[in-house]
Amino acid sequence: MTLTLLDWAVIAGYLLLMLALGIYFRRRSSQNTEEYFVSGRQVAWWLAGTSMVATTFAADTPLVVTGLVYTQGIAGNWLWWSFLPSGMMTVFLFARLWRRSGLLTDVQFAEMRYTGKPAAFLRGFRAVYLGLLMNCLILGWVTKAMTSIVGSALGKSENASLAICIFFLIPFTGFYVSLGGLWGVLWTDLFQFVLKMSIVIAVAWYGVKAAGGMSAMLAKLAAMRATAGPNAADITAIFPDFSRGLTSEALWTLPVLTFLVHLGVQWWAFWYPGSEPGGGGYIAQRIFSARDERNGLLSVLWFNIAHYAVRPWPWILTALAAAALYPGLQHPESGYMMIATTYMPHALRGILIAGFMAAFMSTIATQLNWGSSYLVEDFYRRFIRRDAGEKHYVNISRIATLLLVAASAYVSAQLATIGQGWEVVLEVGAGTGGVYLLRWYWWRINAWSEISAMATALGMTLVLHRWPVFGGSAPVVFAKTTLATTAATTAVWVLVTLLTPAEPDEVLLRFYRKVRPHAAGWRRIAALAPEIPETRDLGKNLLAWVLGCAMVYAALFGIGQLCFGRTGAGLSLLALAAVCATLLYRDIAERVAAEPSGGVGV
């Protein structure tokens, strides 16, 4: 793809704007680590929520969705659609608790909820494990995807494309992140989200147009299915094909097993960045940065609406166009860039590349800032140097950012595929989710519960990779492996919890007074603090959770039906989404009205 002088000017203008925003917020972020990592806790919900969406919209996302749709149909997206119940639980069951905690990072939770050497070990281990190892794995697969994009867009070899990412794009991102801190990340995310959504909508438009329009494209896909044989699945179906029924044999087939794992287990049992059960990671970081509990709750609600209902269809439509235009692709993920580079007008090519750079850099920026917060606040400041001034820790934060830049560059060179990174992260987090949910709602959870869960999940993953015991296609093996890991991990951490002593009452009491979790699971501790009004909102929160899930799924499927020209079904689903949204609005408004102090208890 040849670029004109105007294209290069657009790309340069985008880079200069990112740098300018980093420089603009440098003075503010340099005041202390609270400004650097959580923006002084003064962020509005719409800015924090949009930043979450921008972060999860990485350079790899359109490519992976294209691969899923191309090989498994639209139903393949249940791999990540299934995380919506977890996200909505964060909105209504955990966002307020996180904001009340007053933490700077979610890893600090270990020494707030637990005590002693196990708590200190857990905090330090999670800081390095998540902030360095897991974070670099995520940065690595995002860089792997950007390498493919650069190669397709500029006609460079894989090594040359990797060099551009490693020696220019990542260091440039690290530079403006180290200057502006979270304030810089938030505002660049806002601009980047608008830019990349505009680009993917344009790519979908031109892709569908190249396939002959929506009706012609759907007709061609239907004809391809007919020629493939009677057992061929419908690529446009939102749900897997259950036509063979839930027999013992069909239960272990690809559509049934993977769907059951995704929707029945994955959302509550798996740790995954951006979709952690109970919140955490950069989601918790954005909640910490919110002005109050109300803004924290609304930020995660907006994130879930935008993440699941607003963004997916431009990617899906492009994937369907790729399936119609390029049948038999050896590397289905490449179909997205083939459409983008072939059918986008020449005049938009500079904007196209800037949009993919925005997708890449928004994720890199958050991962660098979030990862360095762990390394500095939860490892360096906690275990190495505890008595330095704020300027010192801000400078160390910038050094940690540059360390992550170098480490992620190395990891990206080692990964074979983008999907390899996704699967590893899911597998090593299988079964740990139950602990992250219950530690807020049951006083009996202790530090050993979390330690044993993480250790078992990691150990099971290593063992099953070293000595594989399951057969079948790759998705089926993945589903069986994660089910086995989840079962073993859950059994171990429950047993360890019951066999090890509870945390001391004074620690539990301090946590209960500060966070005010639902009293049912803290009845013994609540009795020790009669001056604290008991919180009994679990039933109301669970109802809001159900309404939230129904609202987003109805909006997601309704938009899809409208895209396919099925107006009646689409409008009916959107009407259902509107009813759920109205009920949620009334619920949130009632909670705000009940808190005359400004919505702190929302």
Considering the domain architecture, whether residues 547 and 401 belong to the same structural domain is answered as: no
Of the residues 400, 416, 432, which one is the last residue of a structural domain? 416
Instruction: Report residue 246 as tokens.
Output: 């839930």
Dihedral through CA 116, CA 117, CA 123, CA 129, nearest 10? -160
Higher-scoring residue by pLDDT: 159, 496: 496
Report pLDDT for 601: 37
- Residues contacting 579, CB < 8 A, separation 6+: none
Considering the domain architecture, whether residues 408 and 552 belong to the same structural domain is answered as: no
2, 284, 552, 572, 576 from 582: Cα distances, Å: 50, 26, 13, 15, 10
Report pLDDT for 576: 97
Please determine, for residue 582, whether its predicted confidence score (pLDDT) is greater than 80. yes
Report pLDDT for 252: 42
Residue 600's pLDDT band, with cuts at 50, 70 and 90, is: very low
**Element (DSSP H or E) covering residue 543:** helix 538-563
> Cα–Cα distance between 334 and 353 in angstroms, integer?
16
Q: pLDDT tens, 69-102?
A: 998 899 889 888 999 999 999 999 999 999 999 9
Domain annotation covers residue 457: no
Of the residues 398, 416, 434, which one is the last residue of a structural domain? 416
Question: Which range marks the domain in which residue 403 is found?
Answer: 5-251+280-416
Considering the entire predicted model, what is its pTM? Answer: 0.88
Domain annotation covers residue 544: yes
* Domain CATH code at residue 11: 1.20.1730.10
Domain annotation covers residue 449: no
| Exposure string for 98-121, b = 16+ CB within 10 A, e = fewer | bbbbebbbbbbbbbbbbbeebbbe
Q: Could you give phi then psi for residue 518, rounded to 5 degrees?
A: -55, 135
Report pLDDT for 550: 97
Residue 250's pLDDT band, with cuts at 50, 70 and 90, is: very low
Contact 104, 33 (CB under 8 A): yes
Instruction: Report residue 154 as tokens.
Output: 């500029």
Residue 146's pLDDT band, with cuts at 50, 70 and 90, is: confident
Residue 125's pLDDT band, with cuts at 50, 70 and 90, is: very high
207, 228, 242, 405 from 224: Cα distances, Å: 18, 6, 20, 45
- Residues contacting 322, CB < 8 A, separation 6+: 66, 70, 207, 329, 332, 335, 336, 338, 339
Q: pLDDT tens, 350-376?
A: 888 898 888 888 888 888 888 888 999
> Cα–Cα distance between 304 and 261 in angstroms, integer?
21
Residue 423's pLDDT band, with cuts at 50, 70 and 90, is: low
Report pLDDT for 247: 41
Report pLDDT for 243: 62
Residue 251's pLDDT band, with cuts at 50, 70 and 90, is: very low
Count the Cβ atoms, other than its own, within 10 Å of residue 546: 13
Domain annotation covers residue 461: no
> Cα–Cα distance between 600 and 598 in angstroms, integer?
6
> Cα–Cα distance between 249 and 347 in angstroms, integer?
54
Count the Cβ atoms, other than its own, within 10 Å of residue 391: 12
Q: Could you give phi then psi for residue 102, rounded to 5 degrees?
A: 70, 20
Instruction: Report residue 315 as tokens.
Output: 């990617």
> Cα–Cα distance between 544 and 121 in angstroms, integer?
36
Report pLDDT for 309: 94
Tokens 């972060």 belong to 55
Give me the chain's average pLDDT, please.
87
Domain annotation covers residue 47: yes
> Cα–Cα distance between 312 and 321 in angstroms, integer?
14
Domain annotation covers residue 260: no
With CA atoms as reference, report the closest residue to 316 among 561, 128, 574.
Answer: 561
Considering the domain architecture, whether residues 543 and 409 belong to the same structural domain is answered as: no
Please determine, for residue 262, whether its predicted confidence score (pLDDT) is greater than 90. no
Contact 84, 311 (CB under 8 A): no
Domain annotation covers residue 227: yes
Higher-scoring residue by pLDDT: 472, 300: 300
Three-class secondary structure of residue 430 per DSSP:
strand
According to DSSP, residue 290 is labeled: B
- Cα 238 vs. chain centroid, distance in angstroms? 21
Domain count, the chain: 2
Report pLDDT for 482: 82
Of the residues 364, 382, 416, which one is the last residue of a structural domain? 416
CA max distance for the chain: 72
Instruction: Report residue 277 as tokens.
Output: 């059960």
Domain annotation covers residue 489: no
Q: pLDDT tens, 6-63?
A: 888 999 999 999 999 989 998 888 888 888 888 999 999 999 999 999 988 887 789 8
Report pLDDT for 452: 96
**399: exposed, middle or buried (Cβ count in 10 Å: 0-12, 13-18, 19+):** middle
Please determine, for residue 416, whether its predicted confidence score (pLDDT) is greater than 60. no
